[in-house]
Structure 1
Amino acid sequence: MESISVFDIIKIGIGPSSSHTMGPWNAAELFINEIRKTHKISDVKEVFVEFFGSLAKTGIGHGTDIAGMLGLSGEDFKTIDTTKITQKIEAIKAAKTLKFAAEIELPFIYGHHLILNKEKSLDFHPNGMIFKAVFKDGTEFEQDYYSIGGGFVATEEEALVDELTIRTPYPCHKGKDVQHYCDKLGVSFSDLVYINEESWRTKQQTNEQALAIWQSIKECIYKGITQEGILPGGLKVVRRAAALNRTLLGNKPFKNKDEWYQLVLDTDETFVRISKWVSCFALAVNEENANFGRIITAPTNGASGIIPAVLMYSQTFTEYTGDDKIIRFLLVAGEIGTLFKKNATISAAMGGCQAETGVSSAMAAAGLTEIMGGTPGQVLMAAEIAMEHHLGLTCDPVAGLVQIPCIERNSMGAIKAITAANIAIESDPANARVTLDEVIQTMWETAQSMNGRFKETSEGGLAIAVNIAEC
């Protein structure tokens, strides 16, 4: 197996979906880069993209069509002004042209150059898409891509398109590998991750990247608790984080993120209030995600509120605070995410919501246990407990939007992560009857047995019970 950096699992993203928004956006960029290898962009006469399977069935609600158009336009989701996305898409549709690769204007008619094919799925993966370029000399170039979760993209011919070919000194592809190397080297879980991450960057750079993610988390939560109104998409879901924040603060005023953060630190620490704060943090992030906001993908966008909520909880309501704790939390959480990606899936289209909120809850539980002083065995145990109680969780988004039940599920996943960490830190892993590797294997078997209607298609579960057409 290839080694994967923790920062390929926890990274800056854009809502509402890592597999349905970021994946197609990344695929468009890869497609453009492939064209550049053999042609000039000015040689292109027309471009087409067709989405299949889950990408098509929930494409409107997940912004797959938007990602395809903006990706082909050469926009970068890490830097685009998210407040201008709607304006840019309306301009493309109105003009019936697209500035391909940010270089040349091409004809682009929605429904002709971009198609959501809900009747067909590609064999390799449910999240399939085909890009095609027609050149002025009459020749064509066509490439299939598959969004396999967390923004990762693959082709049928290759392994990961992203060149993640680095081999770490202590490869950890399973939980037992982590335990083995921690015992052999006499180090903590996070120390082991630090060592392996030096295959990509220096320790100082790792620290800087982790702390940059922490700042992005705080900014995202702050934005979420300062925004009100109705989320886009037609479901008329009301934002709740801002109102909950006001209630918890007793309407105390604040002018910026730092003032707000200090007010949270000074708040009463009763069990009920803390649990409400955890929910507030998670809701804030996922409401931003649903609004095409910039969030932290961890490991996916649909589950992007869990790690921010648990990490914020650790820094505001526990004694395990400070930069070192933040960094070690993220390193361990990210490494747990790689184990699920390598041995199961982090794609809801492949595994249901257990592959998103379940994995994220396991990641958060592990990170929290690490900074609470847990042994490697306890950290692995916490991840196992969190996932064990997400097994079988389906993905049935109402109207194809990452709103119901996705937003609330992040609050539930965060609370489960904290509970799992508290159980593990008071337990002896030697007495555990289920290992993390076994629960990952079980999750994958469950995913393979799960009916396809419950894998991000909006064809089963709540998506049918609520009976609202895709918006």
Structure 2
Amino acid sequence: MALSVLDLFSVGIGPSSSHTVGPMRAARLFTEGLVGDGLLDAVSRVRAELFGSLGATGHGHGSDKAVILGLQGQDPETVDTGTADEQVRASTDRGQLCLAGTHPVPFDRSEDVVMHRRKSLPAHPNGMTFSAHGADGELLRERTYYSVGGGFVVDGDASGADRVVADSTEVAHPFTTGDQLLEVCRREGMSIAEVMAANERSWRPVEDTRAALLHIWDVMQECVENGCTRTEARLPGGLKVRRRAPGLRARLREAEAAADACAVRPASDPLQAMEWINLYALAVNEENASGGRIVTAPTNGAAGIIPAVLHYYARFIAEADEDGVVEFLLTAAAVGILIKENASISGAEMGCQGEVGSACSMAAAGLCAVLGGTPEQVENAAEVGMEHNLGLTCDPVGGLVQIPCIERNAIASVKAINAARLALQGDGEHTVSLDQVIKTMRETGNDMKIKYKETSRGGLAVNVIEC
């Protein structure tokens, strides 16, 4: 099994990688299978059933909409986010789906997209089953898929569906633990980013990987800009959450302009950078909550952390450049691979420690690397970032990726920067290893009650009254 940096970072649509991106990909995979086997023209009805966490919070996460778009051939990376809701509404109103974008079939949304709030499938909390029927009602095909976090989708027949996506690609420097990764770095005299870059050559040329990662960075920057320029005062959904990013950026820019206009500059706020970090994270996650274009990093619920820390690097570190951005993302992805292989990045499986904790750990590692950290210091930063998110529950109010998700990204972004700086003050030697903290995260997630794992049945989700 091998994972690429581009598996950990992909362009998609908000608000959730596991509940929106994954179901859209699964629905599209199902219709592509019908096309490939010559069954599409015989289909007169399709039905989708969503189970577990998908059924429990799918409406708030837009899972039903994602399925409808995917059945019609839409892809998370290219779907028009500005018209996605309109496309779904049109299909619902006219009572017709255009399967794979070419084959029209009758569609009754209440009957053909079923959300099972209390039923689960065995392999993973995010399970879904699609069925296609002929003119006489006969079953032409039925397939089960699992959305295992970060937009990854596996077939119901795949082994280890609750953990990984199979890829038999052989890489130059395989590793499955942090200790193995550090040993490769010592043996080869390479940084973590260099190990990752060498492995990426198994999939594509070096220049293609670099171009793809810089495109990811471009999308992250565009996402921040979109989040700062939205004109709607409130986020969609019943909570009526107020957007903060546009107003916060305006205030920060006004303060900078006023300071520049002063003949004598006032004493600078030593924590001013934190205001910008908060802004970047809020902008991304408000955009995510709006169903906008997002980089899954490694999930949508935690999508603001790595962009916020990268923006901090680009804005406040004088030596920042595109080489650093590439190094940051490669290093962060190495940590994400370790977490995905040895635990999970799925909130429905691990709670929010699997999402925000993972992103915080990845961001801390990436920043430590570009600030000159050794592989040992980078591993230390990643460990600190994860350790201090252990036990974090996933309890979205109203099933929406808004409260506490948006603020949680801002807090974790600052925590990641602190973890990197703390690690840089040491020599890389520390008591708790990254492998140990990942194992602890997995065990903690397994022990966590289901109501705290993206079901909206516990925590803030029941103690905050939805408006």
Kindly state the Cα deviation for residue 187 of structure 1 after the two structures are TM-superposed: 1.0
CA contact (8 A) 2:374 2:428 kept: no
User: Any gaps of 5 or more consecutive residues in structure 1?
Assistant: 254-266
**The residue matched to 1:78 in structure 2 has which SS?**
coil
Residue in 1 that maps onto 2:251: 247
Residue in 2 that maps onto 1:194: 197
Kindly state the Cα deviation for residue 13 of structure 1 after the two structures are TM-superposed: 1.4
Distance 2:402 2:319 in 1: 32
Distance 1:251 1:375 in 2: 37
CA contact (8 A) 2:456 2:462 kept: yes
Distance 1:317 1:72 in 2: 44
Kindly state the Cα deviation for residue 231 of structure 1 after the two structures are TM-superposed: 0.5
CA spacing shift, 1:98–1:282, aligned 2, 3 Å? same
Residue in 1 that maps onto 2:291: 292
Residue in 2 that maps onto 1:388: 387
CA contact (8 A) 1:41 1:103 kept: no
Kindly state the Cα deviation for residue 80 of structure 1 after the two structures are TM-superposed: 1.6
Residue in 2 that maps onto 1:212: 215
Distance 1:154 1:302 in 2: 20
Does structure 1 residue 98 correspond to structure 2 residue 97?
A: yes
Residue in 1 that maps onto 2:452: 454
Kindly state the Cα deviation for residue 165 of structure 1 after the two structures are TM-superposed: 2.1
CA contact (8 A) 2:8 2:150 kept: yes
Greater alpha carbon shift after TM alignment, 202-211 vs 33-42: 33-42
Greater alpha carbon shift after TM alignment, 155-164 vs 78-87: 155-164
Alignment of 1:63-74 (within 5 A): 63-74=62-73
Kindly state the Cα deviation for residue 136 of structure 1 after the two structures are TM-superposed: 3.6
Does structure 1 residue 170 correspond to structure 2 residue 170?
A: no
Selected match of 2:234 from 230, 234, 254: 230
**The residue matched to 2:111 in structure 1 has which SS?**
coil
Kindly state the Cα deviation for residue 390 of structure 1 after the two structures are TM-superposed: 0.1
CA contact (8 A) 1:269 1:317 kept: no
CA contact (8 A) 1:348 1:395 kept: yes
Q: Deviations over 1:37-92 (max 9, x none)?
A: 32242111110000011001101110000000000011122112111012111111
Distance 2:107 2:373 in 1: 55
Distance 2:200 2:2 in 1: 10
Distance 2:218 2:269 in 1: 26
**The residue matched to 1:166 in structure 2 has which SS?**
coil
CA spacing shift, 1:140–1:149, aligned 2, 3 Å? same
CA contact (8 A) 1:15 1:292 kept: yes
CA contact (8 A) 1:379 1:424 kept: yes
**The residue matched to 2:241 in structure 1 has which SS?**
coil
Distance 1:378 1:367 in 2: 11
Kindly state the Cα deviation for residue 123 of structure 1 after the two structures are TM-superposed: 1.2
CA contact (8 A) 1:351 1:455 kept: yes
Q: Number of aligned residue pairs: give it.
A: 454
CA spacing shift, 1:62–1:27, aligned 2, 3 Å? same
Kindly state the Cα deviation for residue 237 of structure 1 after the two structures are TM-superposed: 0.3
CA contact (8 A) 1:248 1:273 kept: no
**The residue matched to 1:112 in structure 2 has which SS?**
helix
**The residue matched to 1:165 in structure 2 has which SS?**
coil
**The residue matched to 2:44 in structure 1 has which SS?**
strand
Distance 1:454 1:69 in 2: 28
Kindly state the Cα deviation for residue 251 of structure 1 after the two structures are TM-superposed: 7.5
Q: Deviations over 1:406-441 (max 9, x none)?
A: 0000001100100000000111222x1100000000
Kindly state the Cα deviation for residue 269 of structure 1 after the two structures are TM-superposed: 6.6
**The residue matched to 2:311 in structure 1 has which SS?**
helix
CA spacing shift, 1:268–1:371, aligned 2, 3 Å? farther
Kindly state the Cα deviation for residue 155 of structure 1 after the two structures are TM-superposed: 2.5
Residue in 1 that maps onto 2:263: none
Q: Deviations over 1:285-306 (max 9, x none)?
A: 0000000000110000000000
Alignment of 1:327-366 (within 5 A): 327-366=326-365
CA contact (8 A) 2:306 2:362 kept: yes
Greater alpha carbon shift after TM alignment, 359-368 vs 82-91: 82-91
Residue in 2 that maps onto 1:261: none
Kindly state the Cα deviation for residue 252 of structure 1 after the two structures are TM-superposed: 8.0
CA spacing shift, 1:294–1:16, aligned 2, 3 Å? same
Residue in 2 that maps onto 1:51: 50
Residue in 1 that maps onto 2:32: 33
Residue in 1 that maps onto 2:150: 150
CA contact (8 A) 2:43 2:140 kept: no
Q: Deviations over 1:268-325 (max 9, x none)?
A: 9743221010000000000000000001100000000000000000010113400110
**The residue matched to 1:429 in structure 2 has which SS?**
coil
AA at the equivalent of 2:189: G
Distance 1:268 1:362 in 2: 33
Distance 1:143 1:113 in 2: 15
Residue in 2 that maps onto 1:86: 85
Selected match of 1:438 from 429, 436, 439: 436
CA spacing shift, 1:332–1:269, aligned 2, 3 Å? farther
Q: Deviations over 1:335-363 (max 9, x none)?
A: 11111000000000000000000000000
Distance 2:139 2:454 in 1: 36
CA spacing shift, 1:80–1:156, aligned 2, 3 Å? closer
CA contact (8 A) 1:275 1:415 kept: yes
Residue in 2 that maps onto 1:259: none
User: Any gaps of 5 or more consecutive residues in structure 2?
Assistant: 258-265
Distance 2:341 2:65 in 1: 29
* C-alpha RMSD over aligned residues: 1.6
